[in-house]
Structure 1
Amino acid sequence: MIIYEATKEEFMNHVTEDSIAMKIHQAFVEKIGGTSKSEINSWNNSMNYMYKVLNTTQIPDDISVAIEYKVPANSRRIDFIISGLDENGQYSIVIIELKQWDKLDLVEDEDGMVRTFIGKRLVKTAHPSYQAWSYAKLISEYNESVQNDQISLRPCAYLHNYMHTENDPLTNNLYNNYITKAPVFTKGDVLKLRGFIHLYIKKSDQKKSLYLIEHGKIRPSKSLQDALMKMLDGNEEFIMIDEQKVVYETALSMAKKAQNGGKKQVLIVEGGPGTGKSVLGINLLVQLTAKELVCQYVTKNSAPREVYTKKLQKNYKKSYINNLFKGSGVFYEALKNEFDVLIVDEAHRLNEKSGLFKNKGENQMKEIIYASKFSVFFIDEYQKISMHDIGNKEQIKHYAMLFDAEVVEMELESQFRCNGSDGYLAWLDDVIGIRETANYDGFDFEYDFKIFDDPNELRNQIFEKNKINNKAI
């Protein structure tokens, strides 16, 4: 979804007339809903800087400009897009991540992280080059037109309020990997950014590449179970963005701290459907296992463990697989700090007692924290299913304090649109006002809805669907 679209000439006129922010806001209200005054002010500010960048005959007046493009299967928006043809006549798009920041600090022990003030709070967030690059990767992964029609994506970041200095943290060598993929421009770099755009945009494509991206077929998101084997083999299958990246790097840092003989570490991550909790958990499992830590992925529900086991059993020994995935009721006899890391998915489903007759152990939250140097609890207290589900943040914090553990609480906003039952739940949460989700307007893909009078007929239909790819539930 593109909020604002125009030729360069039309965009320049709208800025000259001081109407650009109003036009973006009107389109935003029509297509998405209301927005904040601070965002309107940021449009006013940033678009005047982009006017300076585009104010040259080097960049043709009839090339295309798009503002606030919503990334497919996602709730994130790309600030500014310029599209046209490159010197070879191929479709070419420049993606620009705009930032109002005027200073930032290094985060030395976490990949691609910086600290800066956002909304008058000092927060840890992804480096602008990482953000621009990750958005481009998401488009290329989800939009078939990008690959089928050979559309090249050129991401960069523009911090127009940021005064770059010698030995500046923004361009520290720590971030070279991402700056190489997405160059960063600062205050005074108008000519440099103009040159970057001119390098890839030579003439108009009559809005064709924007049309292909806007109306291109969207691929379904990757299946976590299908990608798991590739991940264990060292392949990067999922690109983490924004809060996901922050949580991931925080968890890796806490895991390292826990292994160095300090206090126990406990990370509580709250998030609803579509926030990527399971993807984060599996990524952490793979990365920490690769670092030769004794790490296990814990779920009360046996279904995901069985699916992962089935996917891996052709390539890995059963003993290896069993050591990666565990039920939540096996730690009541565990020794103190027996495990380096325990990653608990759906922690809201943890029980008080374990065993078939719920007569073993004391409390699963307590047992998991006791048994591990570092424990991660992914939780959504709105998704408890049975009366035995007692997992909650307050009890986790209580038992963490009991063992003198350091506790970090984080929250994942709904970044990714989800589908199937989770998509319905995310949409319902948004509709009735429980929380904002990326499924505020429904689903990205088409579904057939059927109502059955007879549950046996429903069961038979599920078995029929499973004959196709064995993924019906």
Structure 2
Amino acid sequence: MARNFALVKSIAEFQGLRPEEIMRELYNGFQELTAEQMSSEQVSAWHGALPHLQKAFALLPDRVLVVLEYTLPMSNERIDVVLLGCSPEGKAQAVVLELKGWRKVYYLNNSLDLDNDLVLADDEVRQHPELQVLNYVGKLNYSHSAADRFAFVGCTWLYNLPPRELTFRRVDAFWQGQAEEFGQYLRNHLAGPVKEEDAKAFLEGYYMQTPRLLEAIRKNFDALRQGAIDALSVSGFGPSEEQVKLLNEVQKAVESGERVCYLVQGQPGSGKSYLAVLMLLRSLKNVGQFHSQNNVAVLGYRNNRLINTLRKVFRECSPGLDIVLKFYSTGRGKNGLAEGDPQSPHFCLAIYDEAQRMTEKNIRVAMQRADVTVFFYDEAQILNAEEEGWTENFKKIAEELEIDLRERTLSGIYRVQGGAAYHGFVETVLTDPSQAKLPEGLNYDFRVFTDIREMLETLRQKANQSRSKVALVAAFTESPGDREKPLEKSLKNRRIGCPLYSGFNHYKDTGLDIYWLMDEKEQYPAFWYGGQSNDLTHCASIYGCQGFEADYVGVVWGRDFCFRNAQWELGENCEDNIGRPSLKQLFSQARNGDRKARVLALRLLINRYRIFLTRGIHGTYVYCEDEATARFLREIASSKGGRSL
């Protein structure tokens, strides 16, 4: 079994070593744990922390265990320190410690509001340590195989900060100069050594959903359900008849212990993401009544923007509850839900959203991860050449594995107010443009603007006057994106403004300065869930809007997909270098006469613009950077009641 920690010592051993000796063992153990070298920042942090720890640990019994850099099972999160011992009553106890060597810290909004989960620490935006500790303790309680053996206690030590620089309500915190007080606190919780069998169970622990998770789901179900709907679906829409039928069918399969795979296809707006979350919650809530095994249900995504936003919703209901949301593919081939050993861990139910983005290898592992597997997918939303979630691939692999495959289709349209009529219009525009016209009586606000400033002003009016949620999305053109901070200072991140990375002077003299969203953990949840999309200072690419929606969405139609000679053609610019081959590479191959590359690139672009044009619940506003494409779309928008501005 792979180790979960970088270093473990008894207090006697730990106190008997010099800090540099501990550092040497910790460095080597970290490399064995992660297959990576510790960064210079991590080395510096541990060098600063170790003398403080040895001072505080002086009061602890010799046989209490010190565990450094402990990795939560089936997670990439590592806890700085876990101390294993027993309480004064003789029960196994684990103290979870988050260390902070910060020298200055401020609330971002200059208040002591604990709802503010971000702080500015040593000039970097960081998560409030209280939330970190609560999440660690929650995940240990909810998903660690030794959870029933231990009581978990969370605390933090900000050893370079004077007292009360931050406010803590639910976690005990200690400060600069409080080594003795902290040591006494630890001694009060850890009065003696941990039993050998308990220590072994923790150190060799694995991911397992415990009965405490089911209790938390039951306790928080209503709030959690409401939060998930707010994040992923139209406010006020309960499950439809066809959705309820599918929920019941899957639930019965789980209850009966069948080995079956559901292949659920649905176009944009059919409620796939909403239904996936509802299916997860329902299974976790009820499965304890008819199943004895602990690994109940799990939901997998590839979209890191979507999963980080959804995790935020779950964490707000109960810290640690987001452990049931997993990446199905990490890109490293072994840590995702659809990677590595397909039988360990094994679940009653595994749900995969956006399964069209899977490779054949992902599909094969995913089908074996659970007794009942549910794939939600849409071939029309495949974004890159390497994605292989086609219907024929699911069928082929299920047949090879001798798994019963049941195909289902979500026929309803629930996101977009215009319903099937608007979706049909979008499909005609993209696949048969000569026949495109707005349907009569369409209950949907579709407009094409000649001035992007007017489109932005219209979105602002919607946000201010009707309290609508608005958002801006843009074609992956002109700027490739850059993760180096500060994000707003990089030319590669400016998408609308002047100058642009591509040299395109389209926005000269507009005064606009709009950037890509780049930070999946902070920017995207704040944008889609926290309301910052209404600021219209940032825009999402195709990878950052799939699975999300707003009341009104402004689409910047780029120079990648252009209307020429009465048909769609590859345009002059594409900066999307994601995938093998990437869309940018397909553009290059097509220009060199590769007809297959041209056909594939056009197919992927149609999928992308279908997604762009179906993010808006009540309306979609379009601005084109290519004039010929703009003329064509303005002509369509002027037909049968559409608006061209």
Q: State the TM-score, normalizing by the size of structure 2.
A: 0.40
Question: Residue 70 of structure 2 corresponds to which residue in structure 1?
Answer: 69
SS of alignment partner, residue 38 of structure 1: helix
Counterpart CA distance in 2 for 1:160 and 1:74 is 27
> 5 Å matches for 1:348-427?
354-358=426-430, 359=436, 361=446, 373-375=468-470, 409-412=517-520
Question: Residue 280 of structure 1 corresponds to which residue in structure 2?
Answer: 309
Counterpart CA distance in 2 for 1:28 and 1:407 is 37
Counterpart CA distance in 1 for 2:306 and 2:177 is 40
Identity %: 15
Question: Residue 548 of structure 2 corresponds to which residue in structure 1?
Answer: none
SS of alignment partner, residue 141 of structure 2: helix
Counterpart CA distance in 2 for 1:189 and 1:237 is 42
Instruction: Report deviation, 1:72.
Output: 2.1
**2:58 is equivalent to residue 55 of structure 1:** yes
Instruction: Report deviation, 1:275.
Output: 3.7
Question: Residue 136 of structure 1 corresponds to which residue in structure 2?
Answer: 137
Counterpart CA distance in 2 for 1:276 and 1:169 is 32
The more displaced of 79-88 and 357-366 is: 357-366
Structure exhibiting the larger radius of gyration computed from Cα positions: 2
Instruction: Report deviation, 1:68.
Output: 0.2
Cα–Cα, structure 1 residues 77 and 332, in superposed 2: closer, same or farther, change >3 Å? Answer: farther
Counterpart CA distance in 2 for 1:94 and 1:75 is 20
> 5 Å matches for 1:269-308?
273=302, 275=304, 277-278=306-307, 280-281=309-310
Counterpart CA distance in 1 for 2:497 and 2:210 is 34
Higher relative contact order (CA 8 A, sep 6+): 1
Say whether the 8 Å CA contact 1:84–1:207 is kept in structure 2.
no
Q: Which amino acid aligns with 2:191?
A: K
Counterpart CA distance in 1 for 2:38 and 2:77 is 14
Cα–Cα, structure 1 residues 41 and 379, in superposed 2: closer, same or farther, change >3 Å? Answer: farther
Q: Which amino acid aligns with 2:50?
A: M
Question: Residue 159 of structure 1 corresponds to which residue in structure 2?
Answer: 158
Say whether the 8 Å CA contact 1:104–1:169 is kept in structure 2.
yes
Q: Which amino acid aligns with 1:53?
A: A
Q: Which amino acid aligns with 2:32?
A: E
**2:203 is equivalent to residue 233 of structure 1:** no
Counterpart CA distance in 1 for 2:475 and 2:6 is 32
Question: Residue 202 of structure 1 corresponds to which residue in structure 2?
Answer: 191
Say whether the 8 Å CA contact 2:494–2:513 is kept in structure 1.
no
Instruction: Report deviation, 1:89.
Output: 1.6
Match of 2:207 among 207, 211, 218: 218
Q: Which amino acid aligns with 2:121?
A: F
Question: Residue 326 of structure 1 corresponds to which residue in structure 2?
Answer: 415
Question: Residue 27 of structure 1 corresponds to which residue in structure 2?
Answer: 29
Counterpart CA distance in 2 for 1:300 and 1:30 is 34
Counterpart CA distance in 1 for 2:116 and 2:459 is 29
Unaligned runs of 5+ in 2: 232-300, 317-352, 357-374, 379-411, 431-435, 439-445, 477-492, 499-506, 523-579, 583-645
Counterpart CA distance in 2 for 1:228 and 1:362 is 43
Counterpart CA distance in 2 for 1:378 and 1:202 is 57
Counterpart CA distance in 2 for 1:72 and 1:378 is 36
SS of alignment partner, residue 160 of structure 2: coil
Question: Residue 82 of structure 1 corresponds to which residue in structure 2?
Answer: 83
Say whether the 8 Å CA contact 2:134–2:154 is kept in structure 1.
yes
Counterpart CA distance in 1 for 2:427 and 2:303 is 31
Instruction: Report deviation, 1:126.
Output: 2.1
Say whether the 8 Å CA contact 1:82–1:93 is kept in structure 2.
yes
Say whether the 8 Å CA contact 1:329–1:355 is kept in structure 2.
no
Cα–Cα, structure 1 residues 213 and 402, in superposed 2: closer, same or farther, change >3 Å? Answer: farther
Counterpart CA distance in 2 for 1:402 and 1:284 is 37
Q: Which amino acid aligns with 1:273?
A: R
Instruction: Report deviation, 1:19.
Output: 0.8
Q: State the TM-score, normalizing by the size of structure 1.
A: 0.53
Question: Residue 97 of structure 2 corresponds to which residue in structure 1?
Answer: 96
Cα–Cα, structure 1 residues 10 and 212, in superposed 2: closer, same or farther, change >3 Å? Answer: same
Counterpart CA distance in 2 for 1:209 and 1:380 is 54
**2:7 is equivalent to residue 4 of structure 1:** yes
Q: Which amino acid aligns with 2:43?
A: I
**2:117 is equivalent to residue 113 of structure 1:** yes
Cα–Cα, structure 1 residues 329 and 114, in superposed 2: closer, same or farther, change >3 Å? Answer: same
Say whether the 8 Å CA contact 1:5–1:67 is kept in structure 2.
yes
**2:172 is equivalent to residue 170 of structure 1:** no
Matched residue count: 311
Instruction: Report deviation, 1:377.
Output: 7.7
Say whether the 8 Å CA contact 1:86–1:203 is kept in structure 2.
yes
Instruction: Report deviation, 1:199.
Output: 1.4
Counterpart CA distance in 2 for 1:237 and 1:104 is 34
Instruction: Report deviation, 1:375.
Output: 3.9
Instruction: Report deviation, 1:215.
Output: 2.2
